[in-house]
């Protein structure tokens, strides 16, 4: 399947204040002419950005008949990079879910009614942010579909992130990543240092997500190199109404490794729960 191209030249910027320092956020609307349609909000992975989604958000929005909103978190893409020497805390994903994302929605003028019809689509760290947002603001979304999320730390996750660091520092991976970020080191080491912080080994959000009320779809591949199916099983144990999709021949990026299966699953899920 050929994905439609995504150009970072179509992105816009907005400034957020109220944190440790003002940040400029890169964002992109998809199908903006569908002013009355629900919003599908895309939350990228730990090394992602607006551009790294490539054409998949547009493909899914067209399938769902939704408007789409994608953005690069601070430190990523063309958003404000991390400040020199800044290290993200253990609860950096909580900060993104509880502070940065709501501030962005406020800045973009999304009212309560629009938020109540909003679908969160998250991958990896973005899936975790979606879970944390849904648990903190249980009425301020319609539902969430997440891929390869993390709810606790497994040894294989740490091993995978350590391998990623070695690859970044010894191969051309850094140059490839630079094509998608104004500051590749900001994106990579923000994510990598946080996950390899010894204090992060005890990070676990399974109790927090029990407060999720809205429909939840969680997708993961059996060949995920960063986590086992225990992640999805823990989600189901905490959120009984969660629906799980477990994919064979699929690694850490289901939307790339199993595009048709993922699109079919999300479309059926949204259709079943849409007002």
Q: Is the pLDDT assigned to residue 62 strictly greater than 90?
A: yes
Q: Which pLDDT does position 17 carry in this prediction?
A: 86
H or E element, residue 204: none
Calpha distance 141→239 (Å, rounded): 16
Q: Which pLDDT does position 51 carry in this prediction?
A: 97
3 domain-assigned: no
47 domain-assigned: yes
Q: Which domain holds residue 258?
A: 8-273
64 domain-assigned: yes
Calpha distance 194→211 (Å, rounded): 26
1 domain-assigned: no
H or E element, residue 201: none
232 domain-assigned: yes
List, for residues 182-228, the tens digit of each pLDDT value: 999 999 999 999 999 999 999 999 999 999 999 999 999 999 999 99
How many CB atoms within 10 Å of residue 124? 24
Q: Is the pLDDT assigned to residue 33 strictly greater than 50?
A: yes
List, for residues 99-121, the tens digit of each pLDDT value: 999 999 999 999 999 999 999 99
94 domain-assigned: yes
Structure tokens at 79: 């958003």
Q: Is the pLDDT assigned to residue 250 strictly greater than 90?
A: yes
pLDDT over 90, % of the chain: 93
Structure tokens at 15: 């400034």
Q: Is the pLDDT assigned to residue 4 strictly greater than 50?
A: no
pTM confidence score: 0.95
Q: Which pLDDT does position 20 carry in this prediction?
A: 64
Give first-to-last CA distance, the chain, whole Å: 31
125 domain-assigned: yes
Mean of pLDDT values over 71-100: 96
Q: Which pLDDT does position 5 carry in this prediction?
A: 38
Mean of pLDDT values over 43-54: 98
Categorize the per-residue pLDDT at 84 as very low, low, confident or very high, splitting at 50, 70 and 90. confident
CATH number for the domain harbouring residue 153: 3.40.50.1820
């Amino acid at each position: 399947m050929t994905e439609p191209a995504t150009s970072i030249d179509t992105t816009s910027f907005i400034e957020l204040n109220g944190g440790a320092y003002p940040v400029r956020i890169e964002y992109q609307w998809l199908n903006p002419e569908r002013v009355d349609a629900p919003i599908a909000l895309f939350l990228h992975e730990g090394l992602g950005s607006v551009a790294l989604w490539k054409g998949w958000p547009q493909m899914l929005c067209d399938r769902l008949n939704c408007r789409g909103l994608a953005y690069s978190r601070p430190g990523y893409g063309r958003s404000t990079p991390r400040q020199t020497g800044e290290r993200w805390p253990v609860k950096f994903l909580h900060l993104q879910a509880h502070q940065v994302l709501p501030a962005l929605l406020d800045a973009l003028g999304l009212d309560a009614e629009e938020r109540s019809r909003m679908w969160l689509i998250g991958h990896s760290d973005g899936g975790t942010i979606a879970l944390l947002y849904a648990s903190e603001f249980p009425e301020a979304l319609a539902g969430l579909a997440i891929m390869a999320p993390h709810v606790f730390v497994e040894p294989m996750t740490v091993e995978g992130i350590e391998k990623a660091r070695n690859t970044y520092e010894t191969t051309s991976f850094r140059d490839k990543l630079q094509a998608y970020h104004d500051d590749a080191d900001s994106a990579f080491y923000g994510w990598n240092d946080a996950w390899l912080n010894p204090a992060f080994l005890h990070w676990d959000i399974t109790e927090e997500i029990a407060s999720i009320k809205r429909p939840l779809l969680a997708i993961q591949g059996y060949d995920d190199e960063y986590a086992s199916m225990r992640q999805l099983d823990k989600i189901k144990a905490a959120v009984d109404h969660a629906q799980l999709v477990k994919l064979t021949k699929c690694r850490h990026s289901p939307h790339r490794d199993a595009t048709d299966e993922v699109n079919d699953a999300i479309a059926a899920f949204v259709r079943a729960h849409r007002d």
